[in-house]
Amino acid sequence: MKKMSFLLLIASLILLSACSSNTEKAATTTDSGKKEITVWAWDPNFNIAALKLAKDRYVAKHPDVNVNIVEYAQNDIVQKMNAGLNSGSTKGLPNVVLIEDYRAQNFLQAYPDSFHDMSSSIKASDFADYKIGPTSYNGKQYGVPFDSGVMGLYVRTDYLEQAGYKVADLTNIDWDKFIEIGKAVKQKTGKEMLTQDPNDLGLIRGMIQSAGSWYLKEDGKTPNLAGNAALKEALLTYKSLFDANIVKMNADWSQFLAAFNSGAVASVPTGNWITPSIKAEASQSGKWAVVPFPKLKNVPESVNASSLGGSSWYVLNSDGQDTAADFLKETFGSDQELYQDMLSKIGIVGSLNAASSGKAYDVADPYFGGDKVYKKFAEWTKQVPKVNYGLHTYAIEDIMTVEIQNYLNGKDVDAVLKDAQGQAEAQLK
């Protein structure tokens, strides 16, 4: 009997250890001798579509490489990356991953040895200046800057005409003028000027970056809320939008899309990644125009350009990193023709400087009334002020959303910023 139980114990231990020591096949080579790399990204209309173009061009030159593209929601990628990297194993993680610029420093600093140094594969100075801050750490360039996130103000020309305005009246304006026009549009057409989700402070982020300011100081760690002139002006502007009664509320992404696809709002101030979604509503072709993002009136540093939620590519330190680095180097890192392709086929404005001109940029888009909107975006990309997003964008944003609710309900703006500063200091140790 003793023997039996001992045997069973051993057997169960073997069973247990078999679960853990199951060695997965390395991601580098498949049975046929082909090298294989896996790439994770979100947004099928934008990032995944760009990846497919890049893959086709790369595989044509390197038939021995297989590029495996996997689509996940951005939140899922963040979760899987955190769980995987935290466990200290890169098994089950991709070779190349797309990370939002707001979160990049968080990953680079939390898992310092997990990312492949790309300094020798790409030249940082080849890309838009404001993208370098988030994608580099300790003097090394880790990310390959991709989606510029450059902002524009998408406007409905037909609604504006009904209210007596032309596109020129909205070009290079400040937010006060925007509100003034918004009121007129609301009065004449009954349509709201824009739509906002109270949980998403993207508009405020766009406003403060247009003035070269952020929630955190230059070090990326110290909260910079109380006494931040640009942030205060952004809050005042945000409240004016609500007080003017020109904001249609939405509660999530699909309601946000529905707000402009259904024709309920007259403008969308956001990142250029929204272009495919705007154009998704074919019946509104010719009714849209794009003008520069408005600036803050009382902040002298503010310019008519900003960025919202851009993202970049990263290579993980694991088997196959050299192939992965080479893939990025030859595609998003340097291939100007690829950028032309991405622009003409998908409408993506990248952040590679050398790719910001060319035939594709000169094409007039009938959806936007025959305007060369991509040339405009490329131009604005060069003007976006550089800021350090640091480590805590979303943590601070959660503190700010609460305080902004209080502010909209009548709390004094200076008290709002002071309280937010206090909370942020207590929390971000």
Binding site for another protein (CB under 8 A): 1-2, 4-5, 8-9, 12-13, 16, 75, 78-79, 82, 85-86, 88, 106-107, 109-112, 198-199, 249, 251-252, 255, 391-392, 394-395, 398-399, 401-402, 404-406, 423, 426-429
Distance in Å, CB of 217 to another protein, minimum: 16
Q: Which C-beta is closer to another protein: that of 323 or that of 423? A: 423
Local structure of 76: helix, strand or coil: helix
CB nearer to another protein: pick between 187 and 427: 427
Enclosing H/E stretch for 151: strand 151-156
In the complex, the smallest distance separating the C-beta of residue 218 from another protein, rounded to whole angstroms, is 18
Question: Which residues, other chains included, contact 109 with Cβ-Cβ below 8 Å and sequence gap of 6+?
Answer: 137, 391
109 or 284: CB nearest another protein: 109
Between 110 and 280, CB nearer to another protein: 110
CA 44 to CA 58: how far, in whole Å? 19
Which residues, in sequence order, are bridge partners of residue 295?
174
Q: Which of 249, 280 has the CB closer to another protein?
A: 249
332 touches 350 (CB < 8 A): yes
Cβ atoms within 10 Å, residue 164:
11
Q: In the bound complex, what is the minimum distance in angstroms from residue 251's beta carbon to another protein?
A: 4
Please say which residue, 338 or 399, places its beta carbon nearer to another protein: 399
Minimum CB–partner distance for residue 40 and another protein (Å): 15
Residue identified by tokens 């893959």 is: 55
Give least dist CB 313 to another protein, A: 20
| CB 160 within 8 Å of CB 185 | yes
Give residues with Cβ within 8 angstroms of 187, minimum separation 6: 163
Give min distance, CB of 7 to another protein, in A: 10
How far is 60 from 234, CA to CA, in rounded Å?
A: 48
Strands 311-315 and 288-292: unpaired
Question: Tokens 């035939």 map to which residue?
Answer: 359
Nearer to another protein, 290 or 416 (CB): 416
Q: How far is the CB of 250 from another protein (least distance, A)?
A: 8
